[in-house]
Structure 1
Amino acid sequence: MFNQAGRWSPQLLAALRIVAGLLFLAHGVVKVFGFPAGAEPGQQALASLFGIGGVIEIVTGGLLILGLFTRPAAFIASGQMAVAYWMFHAPKSPYPAVNGGDAAILFCFIFLYIFAAGPGAFSLDRQTGRR
């Protein structure tokens, strides 16, 4: 049973890429469009750090969902999450459970893995021959 697990790696990598991209896109939609209502931090001015971050999240999240320019998008998204953690979360407390930075850390390392591993199955990169 376990010796067959590796055969599903491309599909599972694609699932990770798509789900992480959807979640990242959702964070950007909150910042750029204020949807859904009541979600934190809510709609932000586009010229602010949060607004720029929201645009990056929408663009890179969308590219990751499609598996298009996957490696550059994942690299940019990973970097954004590293910056977000150290700028906004770490100064509050050294403990992620206290400073609310758990998601930023996970996003950072998931995107770093996708940058290194590539898009997996079901990607436009794979269909167009980009590796």
Structure 2
Amino acid sequence: MSIFGRDYRKVKNYGPVKRERCNNCCNESTFQLQKLSTWFTLFSIPIIPYRTNYLLVCPICKNYEEIDSSEFLDYVDLIQSQKESENQLLSSDGYITESGAIYRTETQLNFIRQMKEIEMEREKRNSSNE
């Protein structure tokens, strides 16, 4: 029975961030942002994290690229801003799941963005005419 150990790893997936070609499998895909924490354990219970790695992971071959913490934080901010902008675009006419979440296709979201831009241009023209 092991009393001390350092083999417990916790992976947190933040979602898709960057579309590029993978150096390993040569496929173009959207890389996933992940945070990998390695913990010191006592009687197989994780106690203290002693190492954290920030990774961009290819969803196809699972090859990864390690990034620094400042770049990681920039990507997290990007993900948060994308989620906020998508939440602003949602309305009751979307696809509603059993849990109450509303989902739209990328085409629908692009159409809504274009309509919002057209509406903003009309408002600017009307305010300049007055």
Does TM, normalized by the shorter one, top 0.5? Answer: no
TM-score by length of 1: 0.28
Q: Which has the higher helix share?
A: 1
Q: Which has the higher strand share?
A: 2
